[in-house]
Amino acid sequence: MSLLELRGVTRRYGAVTAVDRVDLAVPAGSRTAILGPSGSGKSTLLRIIAGFEAPDAGRVALDGRVLADGPAAMPAHLRGIGLVAQDGALFPHLTVAENIGFGLPRRAPHRAERIAELLAMVELDPAMLRRRPDQLSGGQQQRVALARALARRPRLMLLDEPFSALDTGLRASTRKAVSALLEAAGITTIMVTHDQAEALSFADQVAVMRAGRLLQVGSPRELYLRPKDPMIAEFLGEAIILPARLAGGWADCALGRIKVDDGRSGDSRIMLRPEQLVLAEADDPAAGGVPGEVMEIDFAGALCSVTVRLLGAADGAARLLLRRPSLGLPAVGARVRVSVAGGAHVFPGPES
C-alpha cells in the first residue's frame, strides 16, 4: 500500500522545467532515496512534497489526502510531514531541549518527558539537553534535528542530504543509526541525495532523476545490477560497458563468451561491474579468461583499482578497471588473465 503518491508533478521556473511529469509511489513504512546529480530536480521535488512550493501541474496525495492539485496546495504546517535539512537547521540561540520541543505546545502535558523520550530515541545523553548546538558535533546536531522532526509524530519524514556535511566515518554510522531508528518507528521516509553509496545502503527503493525526470525506480539491487541505460549504470557506480554479439542467452565480447540476462540476438551492449572481473597470473594452468597486462594500480587501502589492458582487444574495450584487495596485487607490467564471475546485463533496446 502506498502512503505517498505523486502523479504528473511538474514545476517550471520560466523556461526551465525543474520537475517534469513525475510519477512516484512510496510504500508505507518504506525508505525511498531520490538520487541524482546537482540540478536534476530532486530538491525541488522534495520541497513540493513538503509544501514549501506548489507544483504547476500534477497531484500529490498522502494516505489518500490531497496535499496539492496543481497550484492549489495545502500549507506546509498542516501536512504533518517531518523534515531534516542538510545542516540540521537548529536554532543556535536555543538549547537542545528547546530545539527538540519547538514544535510541541508549551502547555502540553508531559512535555518534558516527551523531549527526554525523543532524546533517548536518537541515542543522545540526557546531559546534552542543556547544551546549545555549537557545543555538539555534526552527528549529534543531525540527531537533535531528527528528534525535533519526530516530536509531532509525522507519518512521513523527509531527509534533505542529511549526512553530506559529516566526515566519511561519521556519515556511515549516523546513516545506519537514523535508518534503524526510522525503521523501528515505522516512519515512511524519503531521502534526497547525490551520493550513490548512501542511496543504495539506506533505501529499499531508489528513484534516479535526471533533467527533472524520473528515469528508473526500483530496489537498490535491481538498479545496480539491471540499470535501464549506461547513464544510470555509471551514475550508480563504476561500470564496464562493452559492445557484444548476442545469441541464445550468451554474449561474445572482448572478454570472451559471457552468460547474459537477455534472450535476444544481434549487436548490443552489455554491462559488468568491476568486482565481477577476476585476475589470475598468466601462467596459472587453471586460469581461464583472456590475456591482459597490468597498466596501472591505484592503491586505496583495502580495495584498490587495477587498470588492465586486454591484449589483442579493439581500442574501445582495450582498457578495463578492476577492483582487487590490496593483498596480493600483481605488479605494474605483469601479464595476467582476466575472467568474469557471474553474468552480464544487457541494456534494453537497440545499440546506441
The pLDDT of residue 352: 41
- The alpha carbons of the chain give a radius of gyration, in whole angstroms, of 24
- Nearest CA among 274, 316, 271, 311 for reference residue 295: 311
Residue 211 and residue 19 in contact, taking contact as beta carbons nearer than 8 Å:
no
Sheet strands (E) in 161-239 = 188-193, 205-210, 213-218
pLDDT tens digits in sequence order for the chain, 352 residues long: 789 999 999 999 999 999 999 999 999 999 999 999 889 999 999 999 999 999 999 999 999 999 999 999 999 989 989 988 876 678 899 999 999 988 788 887 888 889 998 888 888 888 889 999 989 888 888 888 888 888 888 899 999 887 777 777 777 777 888 888 888 888 999 999 988 988 999 999 999 999 999 999 999 999 999 999 999 999 998 899 999 999 999 999 999 999 998 888 999 999 999 889 988 888 877 778 899 999 999 998 888 889 999 987 665 567 888 888 888 889 999 999 999 999 999 998 654 4
Half-sphere exposure of 63 (CA within 13 A, CB side): 10
The pLDDT of residue 317: 61
Place of cell 582487487: 324
What distance in Å separates the CA atoms of residue 300 and residue 305, rounded to the nearest whole number? 8
What distance in Å separates the CA atoms of residue 349 and residue 316, rounded to the nearest whole number? 20
Q: Given its phi and psi angles, is residue 51 left (phi above 0), alpha (psi -120 to 50 degrees) or beta?
A: left
What distance in Å separates the CA atoms of residue 151 and residue 103, rounded to the nearest whole number? 7
- Nearest CA among 314, 297, 306 for reference residue 338: 306
Place of cell 528528534: 147
Domains and CATH numbers, the chain: 2-233 (3.40.50.300), 238-346 (2.40.50.100)
Cα dihedral across residues 196, 197, 200, 203: positive or negative = negative
